[in-house]
Amino acid sequence: MDEVNRIKQLKKERNAIILAHNYQRGDVQDIADFVGDSFGLSQKAVSSGADTIVFCGVDFMAESAAILNPEKTVLMPETNAQCPMAAMITPVSLKLEKEKYPDAAVVCYVNTPASVKAQSDICCTSANAVKVVNSLPEEEIIFVPDRNLALYVAAHTTKKIIPWNGYCPTHHLILPGDILLEKEEHPDALILVHPECRPEVVALADQVLSTAGMLNYAKQSKSREFIIGTEIGLLHRLRKENPEKTFFPGTKYAVCPNMKMNTLGSIIMALENNEHIIKVPENIRIKAKRSLDRMLEAGRSD
């Protein structure tokens, strides 16, 4: 039996669904029940009737699924698939920052550990960060952990943004020169970039969008060519959903090695051995869920 059919068989036996982030390998995206961004996938898990969730992404994503689905078994095929940016903020460092700015609200990007979400006032995604910040009564905002997203938000609000000095190493690899070279080769292409990119890359963009935003924009746009400034895994889905259009990576080096750890083989191992179960301690889960719930009240996440 080949790997794809084995996965299908195990899914039936376990009443399982497979969630894959937009940055996963193409074959992992193709076997998944749902492909999307991190928080959207966790919400899909809530509405599914599955007993077991296999989350093909990185650590904070599986944690978010566990926060929202405490009664379900959440499996992470590769526990070494950690998010470097999420690791750049800890509860201790956040506590010290809060002491420096006692009047500030804490907005944390979903790309954070559950323990940091638990210490924050509200979460946000790359799609709704501006809306979330502007929904708050506080005039000072500690924004963790992504400095680039914080600077993007700062340009779209009158509030004082206090950015944490974290970043996504993969998006940081995308340089203005890369985008300009692609534009020179493909002058008719629209430039779509993720707000995790450097500000000088964001400044070159025709549109600054989340991964879900890029997918929607590319589908609806009359343009036939696009330069995509995000992790190259998204190009698989963009090309699959828009076969008549052409997509060029901002740089071929924008590869997240941790996102690429999940394979069909590791999904099979996870389902066969019920590994690795992701649990969030209940005291942290309740507080982290409150931050996520507040985000949903502030405005729908895309």
Would you give the DSSP letter of residue 167?
-
Q: Quote the number of domains for the chain.
A: 3
- Among 219, 222, 232, 228, CA closest to 247: 228
Same-domain pairing of 50 and 26: yes
Same-domain pairing of 201 and 155: no
φ, ψ dihedrals at 25, nearest 5° = -55, 155
pLDDT of residue 302: 40
- pLDDT, tens digit, 9 for 90 and up, residues 125-141: 999 999 999 999 999 99
Q: Do 133 and 117 touch, CB atoms closer than 8 A? A: no
Cα–Cα distance for residue pair 58/239, rounded to 1 Å: 23
String of b and e for 23-32 (b: at least 16 CB within 10 Å)? bbbeebbebb
Same-domain pairing of 93 and 164: yes
Same-domain pairing of 43 and 180: no
Cα–Cα distance for residue pair 265/7, rounded to 1 Å: 9
- Among 266, 256, 301, CA closest to 24: 256
Residue 254 lies in a domain: no
Q: Do 83 and 58 touch, CB atoms closer than 8 A? A: yes
Same-domain pairing of 78 and 90: no
CA angle (71 as vertex; 69, 77 as ends), nearest 5: 65
Q: Do 107 and 98 touch, CB atoms closer than 8 A? A: no
74 DSSP β-pair partners: 53
Domain of 17, in residue numbers: 3-82+259-280
φ, ψ dihedrals at 209, nearest 5° = -145, 155
pLDDT of residue 39: 78
Cα–Cα distance for residue pair 138/120, rounded to 1 Å: 14
Beta strands in 113-184 (DSSP E): 122-124, 140-144, 160-163
Residue 94 lies in a domain: yes
Same-domain pairing of 141 and 289: yes
- pLDDT, tens digit, 9 for 90 and up, residues 84-125: 999 999 999 999 999 999 999 999 999 999 999 999 999 999
Same-domain pairing of 10 and 156: no
Look up the CATH number of the domain holding residue 193.
Answer: 3.40.50.10800
Amino acid in position 269: M
Which residue's structure tokens are 């950015």? 163
Which residue's structure tokens are 């009240």? 297
- pLDDT, tens digit, 9 for 90 and up, residues 251-288: 999 999 999 999 999 999 999 999 999 999 999 999 99
Same-domain pairing of 98 and 143: yes
Same-domain pairing of 162 and 25: no
Same-domain pairing of 228 and 276: no
Both structure tokens of 75: 């499996």
Amino acid in position 251: T
pLDDT at 42 over 80: no
Same-domain pairing of 240 and 274: no
Residue 182 lies in a domain: yes
Residue 181 lies in a domain: yes
Cα–Cα distance for residue pair 149/152, rounded to 1 Å: 5
pLDDT at 40 over 90: no
Same-domain pairing of 161 and 289: yes
- Among 190, 232, 225, CA closest to 211: 232
For residues 170-194, give the mean pLDDT: 98
The pTM for the full model equals: 0.94
